[in-house]
Amino acid sequence: MTKNITPNITEIFNNSYERCTKDDQFFDRFYQIFLASNEEVKKKFRLTDMEKQKGMLKNSLIFLLASYLDSSQLNKIARSHSKQQYNIEPKLYVFWLDSMIESVRVTDSHFSEDIESAWRAVMQKGIDYMIRNYEN
């Protein structure tokens, strides 16, 4: 009897990430959804250079995957998003994560519950770390 082996979370995430980022509109789509998700989110980005921000997001997603495996890498991002710097309040991360999942859902032609779970697992670990370090 053969077992049905499910690929691990990082493999599912990586494969989905590659499919999503092949679409030139993926990061634009994410920010359209994210900025429309909440008025406070929209205000945080009103003076942001969005081209630069999209590049930072692309790098951050790769970084979040790496930190999923080793969370010690998150210190710099957590500090920049803390109360003392960009002041990204913990309550705003739910909008970020839901917007990212919706962007993946629209972009990844293979989207499934497993893909959503992988994205949520990889992103949530980093989000939880940043929330824990918000006051620092």
The CATH T-level fold of domain 13-132 is: Globin-like (1.10.490)
State the pTM of this model.
Answer: 0.87
Cα 10 from Cα 115, distance rounded (Å): 10
Cα 43 from Cα 120, distance rounded (Å): 25
Which residues 6+ apart lie within 8 Å of 100 measured at CB?
30, 34, 119, 123
CA distances from 17 to 70, 74, 100 (A): 19, 20, 11
Residue spans of the domains in the chain: they are 13-132
Cα 130 from Cα 75, distance rounded (Å): 8
Per-residue pLDDT of the chain (136 residues; tens, 9 = 90+): 334 445 699 999 999 999 999 999 999 999 999 999 999 999 999 999 999 999 999 988 988 888 887 777 788 888 888 999 999 999 999 999 999 999 999 999 999 999 999 999 999 999 999 999 999 8
